[in-house]
Structure 1
Amino acid sequence: MPDIERYLEAATRDNTRRSYQSAIRHFEVEWGGFLPASADAIAQYLADHAPSLSVNTLRARLAALAQWHQTQGFPDPTKTPHVRKMLKGIAALHPATEKRAKPLQIAQLEQLVAWLDEQIGHAIRSGDMRISATHTRSKALVLLGFWRGFRSDELGRLQVEHITVEAGRGMTMFLPRTKSDRAQTGTTFKAPALSRLCPVTAYEAWIASSGLTAGPVFRSIDRWGNISDDGLHAGSFVPLLRELFRAAGIPAPDSYSSHSLRRGFASWANSNSWDIKMLMEYVGWKDVRSAMRYIDAADPFAQHRIESALMATPALAQPQPSPSLAGPRDTTPSVEQTSLSPKDETHLNLHLAIERNSKFIRGMSKARRWIEQFCQSQYQIRSVNGRHARYEIVMPFAHGPELEDAIEALLSEIHAAVKLCDCMAEAVLHDPIAERYWR
């Protein structure tokens, strides 16, 4: 029996178990409910806490109550139409903006690492090995957390024996359990060696400084410089990071959390033309909705796209003066009346692949139709093959800022269209003459 209980317990993540236990305790002890519960009791519980708890928190409480009823063999009252309608009404009457961690920008990461390097140098010169070890650990934690997009609990569960470093190339890390690994088969992550802000170099420096050969990578360090045998608790990452940001002079340090590293990398990758599929594979997201929650658009107010469209729209022609007042009429065609010369056009090839986020999604055709309609309204476009995977587009711009703006607007429109249809897209524009590519 002990073995059975041990295996059953291992099937649920510790964080999930603690969350469920807290929710059940809140329902029974703090609210005074009884289990098993009826649908009316669940609805009353939701109504009593709707003004004070967010909809996401209430959904988490319902998940815990549903799990309790299912494991105990009782009918699940949270799935009744009455409770579902109740939750929908709460969301309508108590709308709230989802709170998200502020992403750590690459410039702020450089500022933080520069400050840490300075502090490490001072500590080594003064012989303060505790400060040196603490900041060396923090540097490795921040760089590895940023470039791999790790969650705080994943950083806390990294084990030295599960990490392999290839000098000059990168490092491979194995995590037996991750949040998205539902099959519990373990996940392997790779981090590259970089010319600056290198996570591999920072990790090697921390291992050399600490002398660790096994066990958790990131551990607490006491006031005497002793390194703990246990890994950092997931709850200690937020105060640790905020203290670092405050000391490094980063504005508004309390607006950051452990998710700031993950969101910062996702936003950086998005602004550097990583497509959503590539980003999901690298970070480990299984659901595109989860990935999109971490990405900040490069142009959140659509200012660049709208300004580009305004610049491309010809101004209204000014009324011509009367010949009797202005003399002979100038018959020389104006710039607007002159047709574009071939050198003012750029012929591009568009390779467009659209995939569904789920086999149950049926929005691929709609997304492609929207994209084609947008292109037809702006440029000359024709499909090259019958599968509609390759197009030829003629843009009325020569190479320069206007063409770059138009291409950026087109790619943004493509990704916005597929997102609305719950799909993902791989879009590549190619200039065969200049041999340039845009993603």
Structure 2
Amino acid sequence: MASALVPVAEPADYVPANPDTVLSEGTRERLERSVPANTKRAYGRQWSQFTDWCDETGRSPLPATPQTLAEYVSHLADLDRAPSTIEQATAAIRTAHRVAGHRGQPETDGALAVLKVHRRDRAEAGKRKRKAPPVTLTPLRAMIDATDPEALAGKRNRALLVLGFALMARRSELAALRVGDVRFTDDGLTVLIRSSKTDQDAIGAKVNIPVGVHPATDPIRVVRAWLDALAQRQVTTGPLLRRINRWGHLQEGGMSGAAVNEAVQRLAAAAGLDGAEDFTAHGLRAGGPTEAAKAGHPTSFIAEHGRWSKSSPQVLEYIRPVEKWRDNPMRGIGL
């Protein structure tokens, strides 16, 4: 699937009938990199599963008929796949068709109707969309307390937690941070987010983080302690959040998004949080806006700080639970 996103290169001695259809190697490489790696992996996995199913059932994967897509969605429903997983599978199949020149195929009306019934069946069975709990200030401080402030890994994990929360960062954004992206100012800290999910053109965004009030979670103290630890080891450039082995030794290269997620999960378990197994790095991104809403900050400022698209309803999912308590119509009526 990943390779299908870019036309296959022709043999070196191939002479095209139409030179206007030729792509250079450099152009192919840029087209390949234009698709986020995570998307290519996820879509590639979904496409592979779909083609395997088509082989087993004697159906054609490309071009697939609307009936084939509806049957496949029904198959995934039989396996009780989450609706979000089925949506991703459908998107991968349609992307493969578009890249192969079959635009608008296959039609999705039948598949969407099957998915709608699957959602209703899951709701009636008491199954709801699983959400990672937000890492609000209380669990954040518990996770910070579970780190060793004198150990190298402890300094890094504190920086990871506090930056994830204060930046309202995606784990991919944390993994992409470089040492040079951090600048201290009189007012606090400015962090450059070079690119993000809503900034695929890599225009970049500078996020300001003010000085904190608690030493253990003050972004300036925490990040400075980590940068000082790196500088002591002659690391002044490159990835900000570095790999550390089991013996506490700094390694070459930065943490991946998956490693960031695993670190948060380990810290949640170490802190003894209720439902620790459900905490993920996404909880840091959710915790920031939740606490900001509690403090009464405008939704537009929260959305801009967290680099949400102006049309994205996602930030409201974090803010509405706060508003439902703060602006509850039963509050103050004399019950």
Among candidates 190, 205, 218, match of residue 241 of structure 2 = 218
2: CA distance between counterparts of 1:150 and 1:17?
22
**Structure 2 letter corresponding to 1:38:** T
5+ unaligned residues in a row in structure 2: which ranges?
1-23
Tell me which residue corresponds to 2:130. 99
Among candidates 135, 145, 159, match of residue 140 of structure 1 = 159
Matches within 5 A, 1:102-113: 102-113=133-144
2: CA distance between counterparts of 1:256 and 1:139?
16
In structure 2, relative to structure 1, the CA distance for the partners of 1:238 and 1:143 (3 Å cut) is same
Tell me which residue corresponds to 1:171. 189
TM superposition shift of 1:83: 3.2
- Partner SS, residue 184 of structure 1: coil
Matches within 5 A, 1:48-87: 48-51=75-78, 52-87=80-115
1: CA distance between counterparts of 2:113 and 2:143?
48
Among candidates 153, 172, 176, match of residue 157 of structure 1 = 176
Matches within 5 A, 1:5-404: 5-30=28-53, 32=55, 34-51=61-78, 52-95=80-123, 96-116=127-147, 119-121=148-150, 132-166=151-185, 168-196=186-214, 197-211=217-231, 212-286=235-309, 287-295=311-319, 297-298=321-322, 300=324, 305-310=329-334
Question: Contact (CA 8 Å) 1:78, 1:84: kept in 2 or not?
Answer: no
| Higher percent of residues as strand | 1
CA-atom RMSD, angstroms? 2.2
Question: Contact (CA 8 Å) 2:195, 2:201: kept in 1 or not?
Answer: no
TM superposition shift of 1:104: 1.7
In structure 2, relative to structure 1, the CA distance for the partners of 1:205 and 1:30 (3 Å cut) is farther
2: CA distance between counterparts of 1:302 and 1:141?
30
TM superposition shift of 1:113: 2.5
In structure 2, relative to structure 1, the CA distance for the partners of 1:89 and 1:250 (3 Å cut) is closer
In structure 2, relative to structure 1, the CA distance for the partners of 1:297 and 1:23 (3 Å cut) is same
Question: Contact (CA 8 Å) 1:66, 1:78: kept in 2 or not?
Answer: yes
1: CA distance between counterparts of 2:245 and 2:128?
39
Question: Contact (CA 8 Å) 2:69, 2:108: kept in 1 or not?
Answer: no
- Partner SS, residue 213 of structure 1: coil
1: CA distance between counterparts of 2:109 and 2:196?
33
Question: Contact (CA 8 Å) 2:161, 2:284: kept in 1 or not?
Answer: yes
TM superposition shift of 1:215: 1.1
2: CA distance between counterparts of 1:15 and 1:152?
12
**Structure 1 letter corresponding to 2:213:** S
Residues 285-319 of structure 1 show CA distances to partners (whole Å, capped at 9, x for unaligned) of 113411122335236578953142235xxxxxxxx
**Structure 1 ranges of 4+ moved more than 6 A:** none
With structure 2 as the length reference, what TM-score do the two structures score? Answer: 0.81
With structure 1 as the length reference, what TM-score do the two structures score? Answer: 0.63
Residues 155-211 of structure 1 show CA distances to partners (whole Å, capped at 9, x for unaligned) of 011011222222x42222223320011443223222222232211221111111122
**Structure 2 letter corresponding to 1:146:** F
Question: Contact (CA 8 Å) 2:70, 2:108: kept in 1 or not?
Answer: no
What is the identity percentage for the equivalent residue pairs of Structure 1 and Structure 2?
A: 22
- Partner SS, residue 81 of structure 2: coil
In structure 2, relative to structure 1, the CA distance for the partners of 1:75 and 1:228 (3 Å cut) is same
**Structure 2 letter corresponding to 1:111:** A
